[in-house]
Amino acid sequence: MSVVDVIKEQIESNPILLYMKGTPRFPQCGFSSRATEALMACGERFAFVNILEHPDIRAELPKYANWPTFPQLWVNGELVGGCDIICEMAATGELETLIKAAAAAAGEAGAE
């Protein structure tokens, strides 16, 4: 499997996915920390990939996503954006609406 195939598989199999530096419990940069806090405040589980442990993904994802920085939030296969966008959406309540809808849809799909 190529790195791009791995990225596609991760995005397709996780309705809420954050590519970040570090982990939600131990973020390794301020932007990843703020993005994680905003996501956790939504109260739903989300998947994450620590790009510091996956230099191949760290190198390829910006080209695949056409988005140069990390963190990157993907919801239902679509790139939402990075830290600033995540925090802006959290401030308006838009992030929680999006995350709860994605989690509910994933729960319904899993219940079939």
Q: Determine the angle formed by the axes of helices 83-92 and 94-111, rounding to 10 degrees.
A: 90
Cα(1)–Cα(67) distance, rounded to whole angstroms? 22
**Residue 25 is labelled as binding a ligand:** no
Query: Any binding-site annotation on 5?
Result: no
- Does the annotation flag 42 for ligand binding? no
Task: Give whole-number Cα distances, 108 to 60, 66, 75, 93, in Å.
Answer: 32, 31, 16, 23
Is 45 marked within a binding site? no
Q: Which residues are annotated as a binding site for glutathione?
A: 21, 58, 70, 83-84
Q: Which residues are annotated as a binding site?
A: 21, 29, 58, 70, 83-84
Q: Which residues are annotated as a binding site for [2Fe-2S] cluster?
A: 29
